[in-house]
Amino acid sequence: MYHKFVPSQYVKKVFDITPQMLLDKGIRGIITDLDNTLVEWDRPEATPMLIDWLRSMKEAGIQVVIVSNNNELRVKSFADPLGIPFIYQARKPMGRAFRKALKLMNVSREHVVVIGDQMLTDIFGGNLNKLHTILVLPVAQSDGFFTRFNRLVERRIMKKLKDKGQIMWEEEN
């Protein structure tokens, strides 16, 4: 069961993921979480660095869809100025939002990656849907109420996986 929480890949931050890295793997679409993956959970808009990253993906022909468990106002106000399609109240790790994102992009699952900061929602959901998953370190050290609970559970899962030698991921303090 624990293997469903293991990402296909780890990076420290979303900016470590380059268009060329994705193109080399045949990736044509990104399903990404928003809060603490792209920006801090309480930052209302994209940073200039994130805008450049998103532009580089678009220029490379890689589509991006934001899939967030957050509410419509939060996700829409972030995504609309960037012209990025989004799915709010996604209920990750449930599969419906992932399937909807695949349909929006019209890209087969073999050519899509899921990027997120949470094992219980992003990685578990991506793995259940047989998608390539990339775990990033959370952008902020603070979290909303439900995410704080998830982090407690994740730490236990991470310890189990480390003890079994299934992951070599080290979080920064």
Polymer length of the chain: 173
What integer is the mean pLDDT of 22-31? 98
Burial level of 24, CB count in 10 A (0-12/13-18/19+)? exposed
Taking alpha carbons only, the member of 37, 77, 76 closest to residue 54 is 37
Which pLDDT belongs to residue 165? 74
pLDDT in tens, 40-91: 988 999 999 999 999 999 999 999 999 999 999 999 999 999 999 999 999 9
pLDDT in tens, 134-164: 999 988 775 655 666 666 677 777 777 777 7
Tokens standing for residue 119:
């094992």
d(CA 169, CA 82): 32
* Domains assigned to the chain: 2-163 (3.40.50.1000)
Predicted TM-score (pTM) of the model is 0.85
Cα–Cα separations (whole angstroms), residue 84 to 20, 59, 163, 171 = 20, 14, 40, 30
Taking alpha carbons only, the member of 108, 76, 163, 101 closest to residue 116 is 101
Taking alpha carbons only, the member of 116, 133, 112 closest to residue 38 is 116
Tokens standing for residue 38:
């792209």
Residue 93 contacts residue 113 (beta carbons within 8 Å): no
125 alpha-carbon distance from chain centroid: 10
